[in-house]
Each structure stands twice: as C-alpha cells, then as structure tokens.
C-alpha cells in the first residue's frame, strides 16, 4: 500500500518562516483551554474580531514587557502564544522566554489552524463567532474555515 503525505500550504509557510525557537503545541493537543494561559500576539483589531477563549491580548509591535510581568506573576504558568499562523507568536514567545517564563509554547498554525480544525473562537463580547481576521488577503488564503474578515 502506498502512503502519500501531503504538506499543506500552511505547513510550507510555517516551515519557511519559523525558526522553531519556541516549541510548538498543536491545537488537537489542547483538550481543555482552562489548562493554559493564551496570549494573542496580533493587532488589536484582529483580536477584537476573534480570539481564543479568555486570551489576553499582548500585541506584537506594541508588546510591553512591564504589562506582561504585571499580568502574569507565575513564570511557570503554561502559556500558549498565538497569532494568525505562528510567526509573530514565535517572536513574542522568544521575548517571554528571555523574561524567564519557562513553559511557553507557540500554537502551530495559529488561530487559522485552530479554526481550520473546528475549534471555537470568540468575539470581543466573548460570544462564539465564525469570523476570523485574516491580517491581509495573502495570509487569508491559509484560513479554510469560518468567515474571513479583513478591514
């Protein structure tokens, strides 16, 4: 029997752009979101459109070390950082590791892969939504589930 393994477009982009400096965690490995602290490393408008349940917005360009240190006192807390596909979140994960956080994971494929795998996302009123901000049309081609939003 011949087995064919197809690498998705998302897999190819992540492989090309990530350094794997922060260990990945895959959406199917997260069975209970309460076990993790989720940090969203996207623009505020992306986060407002949809985010993972109870995620804390930390941003990317405006990431503030002091804000994070004040919000997260326990440096052993299991943290998952995510963005659209896992590029910005890897950079924020590196900053967290440099700050002394010891259990930081990068969500493989970001919120796109999360939604592509049928997992729920929430809007700014903490209500489940099908909308996902795609950052731009180029990155949006990697989202295959939900409603693409790009404003």
What is the DSSP-derived secondary structure letter of residue 101?
-
Cβ neighbours of residue 20 under 8 Å, at least 6 residues apart? none
| Under 8 Å between Cβ of 22 and 99 | no
Structural domain boundaries enclosing 77:
9-149
| Under 8 Å between Cβ of 132 and 118 | no
CATH value at residue 62? 3.40.250.10
**58 in any annotated domain:** yes
With b for 16 or more beta-carbon neighbours within 10 A and e for fewer, the 77-98 pattern comes to eebbbbbbbbbbbbbbbbbbee
**4 in any annotated domain:** no
**69 in any annotated domain:** yes
| Under 8 Å between Cβ of 57 and 122 | no
**1 in any annotated domain:** no
Q: Which parts of the chain are beta strand (E)?
A: 24-25, 37-40, 56-57, 79-82, 104-107, 121-122, 128-129, 131-133, 147-149
* pLDDT one-digit tens code per residue, 79-114: 999 999 999 999 999 999 999 999 999 999 999 999
How many structural domains compose the chain? 1
**3 in any annotated domain:** no
Report whether pLDDT(35) > 90: no
**105 in any annotated domain:** yes
d(CA 137, CA 96): 29
- Residue 132: helix, strand or coil by DSSP? strand
Report whether pLDDT(1) > 80: no
- Residue 112: helix, strand or coil by DSSP? helix
Question: Tell me, what's the pLDDT at 33?
Answer: 84
| Under 8 Å between Cβ of 55 and 39 | yes
* pLDDT one-digit tens code per residue, 112-135: 999 999 999 999 999 999 999 999
How many residues are present in the chain? 151
């Amino acid at each position: 029997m011949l087995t064919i393994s197809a690498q998705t477009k998302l897999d190819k982009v992540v492989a090309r752009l990530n350094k794997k400096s922060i260990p990945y965690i895959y959406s199917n490995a997260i069975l209970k979101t309460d076990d993790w602290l989720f940090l969203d490393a996207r623009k505020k408008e992306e986060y407002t459109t949809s985010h993972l349940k109870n995620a804390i917005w930390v941003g990317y360009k405006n990431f503030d070390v002091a804000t994070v240190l004040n919000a997260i006192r326990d440096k052993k807390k299991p943290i998952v950082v995510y963005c659209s596909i896992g590029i910005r979140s890897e950079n924020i994960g590196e900053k967290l590791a440099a700050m002394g956080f010891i259990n930081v994971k990068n969500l493989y494929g970001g919120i796109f892969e999360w939604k592509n795998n049928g997992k729920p996302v929430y809007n700014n009123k903490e209500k489940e939504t099908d909308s996902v901000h795609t950052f731009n049309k180029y990155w949006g081609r990697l989202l295959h589930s939900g409603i693409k939003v790009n404003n």
